[in-house]
Structure 1
Amino acid sequence: MNIAHLSDLHFGVHSPDAVSSLIADVVAAAPDLTVVTGDLTMRARTGEFQQARAFLEELPGPVLVVTGNHDLPLDSPLRLFKPYDRYRSYISADLDPVVRVPGLTAVGLQSMPRWRWKDGLVRRSQLSLVSSTFAAAPGGDLRLVALHHPPFGQTLINGPKLLRTGADLLLAGHTHHPDVRTMGSTVVVVAGTSTSRRTRGTPSSWSRITVAEGMVTVIERHFMLDGWRTGRLITVPHAGRPSGPGPGDRRPG
């Protein structure tokens, strides 16, 4: 199973060079599923969503997309009464999408309520959606959850409960720093910012995730002056401690 994980595109403060070359880099990976974990825009403006829509249409499908905190308008009337309308109009009407491909069942969650400005929340109904979807999945399927907020730190209410739904993989963004860790029986992969200039000391990046024979391999692709290059390679069992080279120990050219 081969998954492309992008996040924090931030159209409006994006790098045109990163955008123009990223599509080809993702296409070359031939993913079975492409996941984008939120913050498609910087200020949820119409023009930013239009740019994000055009970008998503070029990604190899199927594509699973969720909202981020920057995808809700900042101004009070829209945020109060129509917080998700622009996202629904330009990206997807389904805020908690389910995507199934052979061997994989994936659930996306809208983790940004209108009354929070930055941190996230997983509602009880969403926990039930994940549990029921995984319960109905074929026995051998890889079970994946995607949302904007990672389940560690203080950024996500009910994060620990989400980790008890039986997910093999949980994909998130928000921090702009790539991260791979095992939490219980779930491998958590946080993607960096793929096209934003707000890199916070880490190059723009996306993560290629391969799952085979009980192992999860994450290859980070970093945007450098000469284009996209392979960065860290991290291998983690489905459950347990990382094995093989640690983060940053192996950099295959």
Structure 2
Amino acid sequence: MAKKEQKLICEEMPPWMITFSDVMTLMLTFFVLLVSMSQIDSRRKLVALGSIIGTFGWQDASYEVFSKTDTRRTVEPGPIDSGDLEPLKELKWENVDKDINFRSNRFVQILSINSSLLFPPGGIQLSDAGQALLKDFMPVFAQVQFPLLLAGHTTELRDELGNNYEPGDDTQTPDLSWKISLDRTLAVYSYLLEQGMRPEMLKVEAFGKYAPYYPRNTSENRAKNRRVDIVLDKRSLDAGERVRQIAPQPRNTPDTLDIDGFEFDLRPPAGLE
């Protein structure tokens, strides 16, 4: 009688695992083959790129990648809330484009006043017209909720000093243009304090001839660069207000404490208050 053949079965791996492994290997090979044969849809790529281009406003593209019609819905930031310099923008002055300039964005507002409106030619003391102009601005300055930065700007010494310019003035240390801008800024600062502005609501900086807003290639542009900027930055706070915001709130301590019907007196002994 022939002996029955014995089946060899690995005791460490169940029989179904061999079949399962073969199937997984075949599926992996199948998907690798699909990936190797696939191609990127150029249309989908263009749509994705068009969305990015339209969002950030590059060139003349829009959300619709195959159209140059501007379909963006960009919302410009509105004016800063009440308590800013916005009311000054609506006032009308003679030669407003040359003498006074108002620039603003979502957080910062800059009121530029030409030095010719505030000071006599080559002077550092406020003229009567300059004092009257700042006095007209005081109702707006007084209601501002954020500190104002007074920034003085000048131009080349030949333009500033005129006939008083002498060779060697440009080699002084510190630069004389910086000193002129500082003196003018301090004159405005002192006058605003006299009109009731709080010292902590004013800051002073002087830039001399080193931060021109207009190109210095013409005399007209250099004249526009002689200015005092009144800058309101909504991101800056009054120092006192900042301290009040970060200071811990005082806690009201009760005089007595009740625990399971027992009342304890928490008041300090007499003489220690």
TM value normalised by structure 1: 0.27
- Between structures 1 and 2, the one with greater helix share: 2
TM value normalised by structure 2: 0.25
- Between structures 1 and 2, the one with greater strand share: 1
